[in-house]
A and B are shown apart, each in its own frame.
Chain A
């Protein structure tokens, strides 16, 4: 059956459950278990026949084929039955197993049959042992002699059964000559015993067939085997079935057919599997015995419960392993690693090893090793040999009972692999050490070193272990140790360097941190400085802006002065030419007069001569009269010419004076006023242009230098003023700004009294104001806060009879830019949505009446109130018929973006574009276009004075221009006393003043009537011009005159 030898044939197993178990497991069947041995019936006879004939038989078969069991349960019972020989039926069967000491074992086997030996004391036993052993070793007939010495019965036959005969070769240490000799001696003992005819000694051996070749080195033995051997045949499927069902039946149980089928299937044709089958059946039986129901057949579930043939052995081995404590588990691992060896990828072989050697490998005592081995060879387990009961000594060869254990027990499989890895590592290391010694390789470094150190920690290799694989263990370990030390030293040096680096980094960090703190302090200081600098910068910017303003002003003034000066020079030249002409005419007249006088004298001579010739005298007198008449006529012509020349001269002087006046500083206001006044006098006296810009400018500047109320700005807004409107009655001015503030100004002559209608508000930009004719209602619109998500806003309607009253809000607009009352004053038109929409309000609600195609920038209502004129960004002027559903008619195409439009009461239309061009167009004849050039930037507003005398325009070029409608060819009065954008302009109701809304919070005011200014100047000045001033500023040849009659002449 297996390679396990049963030493104590009589020894029964201990556990009751095992007793009742009809399957032996891994161990072979015992002799007393022949009733359980099935499947090889009828095969014993041939063996007995050969034994009888040759006194020797070799039962040969593959591993696990059942050789031992066959001998024990198939052959020996028949032998005992006296079948073999007719000499005597008494048989003494000595069963031995060579092991590592075949002769000693044979001696023990012989003595075990000696009853006196069994009864002897320990000392006696030792003596007997020595005697028999010495006898067996003394000669080749030692066995015969030993048997004869112990022979108690002359009829007794001896059968020496050498089980596991291959151990002679397996356990032999070929290097050990003693061992070799012992093998030879043992074989000789057996051969001689067979050949010794005096004593009936029979020898039977069981041997694995793969060791047959080893027998060839012993010719006698070879001959015996050749003569008599029995090759044990493989069991048929039927025989195997019997081997299963037989013992079950003997055990008094049933086995289900499907389990039999399953077992036979699992078993296959491999004879090696028979011990596994027996083991599985043993375990199945035990399980069934413990957990099976009464009357229940042994079934598949029991078989599966123990893990089937695939797992049963593994589980069984694990049971044994789990019984060990931790230390023992380690020893166990070492034992199994020692007695196995890996060959090939998945192929392990057994490597029987002496117990003492295992203890040395594990570095523990032999007793400890024995304790572990006992667990694995306990009855019913038999996983390790020697089998249970065989005393263990240092030289006992430890082996696994069946190779299949290596295949099936997973843990062992892993150990085998681990051991193979460990050996591989060791061999690599040993090789490296060897190379290092001869200087062909260096010390190991990570990762090899780390792997080797891990290996060392894990496997703790011992000298004995190491020398099994490579003799130079010590050198190898020294190599490893040296590699480690070398590496550690290297690491320490690196660590030291790292620490130094770290220290350096820390110092650097500390320095940087300190620097950072200092920098932060500097930063704070810098911020403080920056704040100071910002303040200074702001102040500087304001100063710069002021300076720029002053510069610009000065430049403008200078340019103006230059141009006027040139003009004055031209005028002066013209006047001089005229004067020269007049003088020439006068000279001619004088010449004529002299000629006349000469003629008269001649006539007197002639008259005296006439006494002599009367007729001639009369004739001559008539001629003289005619000549005299001519002379008188010539004198008249000359005087008119002179008068014209004087007029032009004085007009030029007037302009020159006015310009000089504007060029004087305010601290010369006396002179400034006198020059302006004298300029005004000359201009008036010598019939200069009524609205001459220079004269106006001189007067305005002069009264301004006296801070005359007429020249003062109206201050009350905090931010830019977007719109200014005048009432048509009551002389009020209303202004609205980007801060939402609306002011009402009462103009009472020179006094302007402001009243706040609405104070400044956030998010209110007033863009449009409209006041009704009788000054009771005002509508304000612009960009106001939204009231809902659609950005709907409102207009405000003020009751001007009580301006403080909270205005009425009428919703329905978004962004209003212009509002106009209808003529009926029952409604108002609103330009909304940045000029995209025309809306109509009845002061309760707002309705859209026209949606414009283009963005309309301004609109104006015709006098009859029936037409609304619009000016849009495309440059088109359209008119909408308010009576007939807002029908549109294109009036004029300006070809350039229009910004403003206004209509006069006499049927003229003025339009202004974004480049500063102003056009005056007769609405009845649009081909009649008068271009009025002057502005240089957007014309924001155009207004006609109600007396039709003026057009006022305001522009982003920082000027308001006043155009004299009666003299459109003349330059307009340029109201430029200002340096920011002018948004809006309006005439007061009495047309005496122009009010302009400016970007920088002021309403600028200018009087339209220069007489008003002139009237004031003489009251401001305290004296008249001196002669010197007269000669400097007027002319030396012009007679001095008092500029202001209310002051005495100052020419003395």
Chain B
């Protein structure tokens, strides 16, 4: 029993000693930092590095304290006219705290100027977004089988979803960013038309035809992004921007659920038709995107919300006279182009790589 007691006591004492020494290290570094501040205020710049050098590695100081320590070291080197050492310390600071920014109001200009000679902006950004879209169908030509007065079908817009992964990089002195997006979008449209079926040679009964089409598109967007409030104080917090660029989409699948209603009669669910298999839809859709959005930076990560309008230029109907549709539902498909209104929610991660810029 006594042996055990000794054994446990030893463990506890050792643990406290280790923890105590860790705390001591922390406390020592905090004391050193306070001392360095005083030394700096008193102008004994050559003493600063020696006071702080042991506290820059490990967890002896938190990020904010380390930043201050580095700042003091950098300033001491600047004012001692040791630019190479100042560069080295600045690089150390930027690697440790990638989001470090100088304060033009309170920081010495020498420090601001030095900071300006480093690459401190993210080299690129990447992320993903989820979108909710609202399909807007533009009818180019209408077709019908049989009497022309039954040709005018009506498209109803529908809400659906999609998503994208993207990578973005600044160009033109960070004024404009280019973003490449890989998208996968599902669009839904509802089409209601009158059809007819000839029961006999003389008797024609008009039916209503309802079709819900679900299109899946894989696409690629190249968007130019311009942040118009980048340098203002508010802009740094919400960073609004506009987007513009072309998009190309490839049809993955277009499937339709069909329903017919005899006027005054019953509604019947017809066979689903895969438009893409029937060659009804074109495989390619070219469009132009315009949008606006705003960032909410949280350190290295930003959330963003965007409102985007995608205007389709391609007639996405390849074969308006599908025999399958004609035979089953007595319907021809209109020539249409597809535009969408999108609300995007996403996350973006900044990738930093600080280095001294060659002037």
Residues A720 and B43 in contact in the complex (CB < 8 Å), given A786-B359, A855-B81: no
Q: Which of A930-944 contact B (CB under 8 A)?
A: 936-938
Tell me, yes or no, whether A402 is within 8 Å of chain B by CB: no
Q: Which residue of A lies closest to B42 (CB)?
A: A937
Residue pair A937, B44 in contact (C-beta under 8 Å): yes
Residue pair A817, B43 in contact (C-beta under 8 Å): no
Q: Give chain B nearest CB distance to A1005 CB in angstroms.
A: 22
Residue pair A720, B358 in contact (C-beta under 8 Å): no
Report the Cα distance A958→B45, complex, angstroms.
14
Report the Cα distance A527→B296, complex, angstroms.
10
Q: Which of A710-725 contact B (CB under 8 A)?
A: 719-720
Q: Give chain B nearest CB distance to A809 CB in angstroms.
A: 17
Q: Can you add 19 more A-B contacts, CB < 8 Å, to A531-B237, A834-B82? A: A524-B296, A527-B298, A738-B109, A738-B110, A739-B109, A763-B113, A783-B113, A786-B359, A815-B81, A834-B83, A897-B46, A936-B42, A937-B44, A938-B44, A938-B45, A956-B44, A957-B42, A957-B43, A958-B43
Tell me, yes or no, whether B54 is within 8 Å of chain A by CB: no
Interchain residue pairs A-B with the least CB separation, the first 9 = A956-B43, A937-B43, A738-B109, A834-B81, A786-B359, A719-B109, A763-B113, A739-B109, A938-B43
Note all chain A residues with C-beta closer than 8 A to B44.
914, 937-938, 956
Note all chain B residues with C-beta closer than 8 A to A938.
43-45
Q: Give chain A nearest CB distance to B100 CB in angstroms.
A: 15
Give 10 CB contacts A-B under 8 Å: A527-B298, A737-B109, A738-B109, A765-B109, A765-B113, A783-B110, A786-B359, A789-B358, A914-B46, A937-B42
**Number of B residues with CB within 8 Å of any CB on chain A:** 18
Note all chain B residues with C-beta closer than 8 A to A815.
81, 83
Tell me, yes or no, whether B116 is within 8 Å of chain A by CB: yes
Interface string of A975-988 (1 = CB under 8 A from B): 00000010000000
Pick from A719, A739, A783, A956: contact of B42, CB under 8 Å = A956
Report the Cα distance A835→B83, complex, angstroms.
12
Interface string of B87-124 (1 = CB under 8 A from A): 00000000000000000000011100100100000000
Q: Give chain A nearest CB distance to B11 CB in angstroms.
A: 38
Residues A955 and B81 in contact in the complex (CB < 8 Å), given A738-B109, A791-B359: no
Residue pair B359, A789 in contact (C-beta under 8 Å): yes
Report the Cα distance A740→B237, complex, angstroms.
30
Which residues in B have some Cβ–Cβ distance to A below 8 Å? 42-46, 81-83, 108-110, 113, 116, 237, 296, 298, 358-359
Residue pair A720, B108 in contact (C-beta under 8 Å): yes
Residue pair B43, A981 in contact (C-beta under 8 Å): yes
Note all chain B residues with C-beta closer than 8 A to A719.
108-109
Note all chain B residues with C-beta closer than 8 A to A981.
43
Report the Cα distance A531→B297, complex, angstroms.
13
Chain A CB within 10 A, most for which of B108, B113, B358: B113
Report the Cα distance A616→B10, complex, angstroms.
111
Interface string of A604-622 (1 = CB under 8 A from B): 0000000000000000000
Note all chain B residues with C-beta closer than 8 A to A785.
359
Residue pair A765, B43 in contact (C-beta under 8 Å): no
Note all chain A residues with C-beta closer than 8 A to B108.
719-720, 738, 999
Q: Give chain A nearest CB distance to B241 CB in angstroms.
A: 20
Q: Which residue of A lies closest to B46 (CB)?
A: A914
Q: Which residue of B lies closest to A531 (CB)?
A: B237
Interface string of A287-316 (1 = CB under 8 A from B): 000000000000000000000000000000
Q: Which of A805-827 contact B (CB under 8 A)?
A: 815, 817
Q: Give chain B nearest CB distance to A790 CB in angstroms.
A: 10
Q: Give chain B nearest CB distance to A619 CB in angstroms.
A: 80
Interface string of A503-529 (1 = CB under 8 A from B): 000000000000000000001100100
Report the Cα distance A958→B43, complex, angstroms.
9
Q: Give chain A nearest CB distance to B196 CB in angstroms.
A: 46
Q: Which of A621-673 contact B (CB under 8 A)?
A: none
Q: Which of A832-850 contact B (CB under 8 A)?
A: 834-835
Report the Cα distance A785→B116, complex, angstroms.
11
Residue pair A955, B43 in contact (C-beta under 8 Å): yes
Q: Which of A391-440 contact B (CB under 8 A)?
A: none
Q: Which residue of B lies closest to A787 (CB)?
A: B359
Report the Cα distance A786→B113, complex, angstroms.
12
Note all chain B residues with C-beta closer than 8 A to A958.
43
Note all chain B residues with C-beta closer than 8 A to A957.
42-43
Q: Which residue of A lies closest to B237 (CB)?
A: A531
Residues A763 and B116 in contact in the complex (CB < 8 Å), given A720-B109, A738-B110: yes
Note all chain A residues with C-beta closer than 8 A to B82.
834
Note all chain B residues with C-beta closer than 8 A to A936.
42
Note all chain B residues with C-beta closer than 8 A to A783.
110, 113
Pick from B42, B81, B113, B298: contact of A817, CB under 8 Å = B81
Note all chain A residues with C-beta closer than 8 A to B109.
719-720, 737-740, 765
Report the Cα distance A364→B28, complex, angstroms.
95
Interface string of A237-272 (1 = CB under 8 A from B): 000000000000000000000000000000000000
Note all chain B residues with C-beta closer than 8 A to A937.
42-44
Note all chain B residues with C-beta closer than 8 A to A738.
108-110
Q: Give chain B nearest CB distance to A79 CB in angstroms.
A: 77
Report the Cα distance A938→B41, complex, angstroms.
12
Note all chain B residues with C-beta closer than 8 A to A857.
81
Q: Which residue of A lies closest to B107 (CB)?
A: A719
Residue pair B81, A765 in contact (C-beta under 8 Å): no
Note all chain A residues with C-beta closer than 8 A to B298.
523, 527
Note all chain A residues with C-beta closer than 8 A to B110.
738, 765, 783
Q: Which of A456-481 contact B (CB under 8 A)?
A: none
Note all chain A residues with C-beta closer than 8 A to B116.
762-763
Chain B CB within 10 A, most for which of A738, A897, A999: A738
Note all chain A residues with C-beta closer than 8 A to B358.
789
Chain A CB within 10 A, most for which of B42, B46, B82: B42
Report the Cα distance A817→B359, complex, angstroms.
21
Note all chain B residues with C-beta closer than 8 A to A791.
359
Q: Which residue of B lies closest to A793 (CB)?
A: B359
Q: Which residue of B lies closest to A739 (CB)?
A: B109
Q: Which residue of A lies closest to B109 (CB)?
A: A738
Report the Cα distance A834→B108, complex, angstroms.
19
Chain B CB within 10 A, most for which of A524, A956, A958: A956
Chain A CB within 10 A, most for which of B83, B109, B110, B358: B109
Interface string of A893-912 (1 = CB under 8 A from B): 00001000000000000000
Note all chain B residues with C-beta closer than 8 A to A763.
113, 116
Q: Which residue of A lies closest to B104 (CB)?
A: A719
Q: Give chain B nearest CB distance to A452 CB in angstroms.
A: 40
Q: Which residue of B lies closest to A980 (CB)?
A: B41
Report the Cα distance A739→B298, complex, angstroms.
32
Interface string of A735-747 (1 = CB under 8 A from B): 0011110000000
Note all chain A residues with C-beta closer than 8 A to B113.
762-763, 765, 783
Residue pair A835, B42 in contact (C-beta under 8 Å): no
Report the Cα distance A739→B44, complex, angstroms.
24
Q: Give chain A nearest CB distance to B80 CB in angstroms.
A: 9
Q: Which residue of A lies closest to B297 (CB)?
A: A527
Q: Which residue of B lies closest to A763 (CB)?
A: B113
Report the Cα distance A936→B113, complex, angstroms.
29
Residue pair A835, B43 in contact (C-beta under 8 Å): no
Q: Give chain A nearest CB distance to B284 CB in angstroms.
A: 37
Note all chain A residues with C-beta closer than 8 A to B237.
531
Interface string of A201-212 (1 = CB under 8 A from B): 000000000000
Q: Give chain B nearest CB distance to A237 CB in angstroms.
A: 69
Note all chain B residues with C-beta closer than 8 A to A897.
46
Q: Which of A920-963 contact B (CB under 8 A)?
A: 936-938, 955-958
Report the Cα distance A791→B110, complex, angstroms.
17
Chain B CB within 10 A, most for which of A740, A857, A936, A981: A981
Report the Cα distance A163→B152, complex, angstroms.
89
Report the Cα distance A914→B45, complex, angstroms.
9
Note all chain A residues with C-beta closer than 8 A to B83.
815, 834
Report the Cα distance A737→B44, complex, angstroms.
21
Note all chain A residues with C-beta closer than 8 A to B81.
815, 817, 834-835, 855, 857
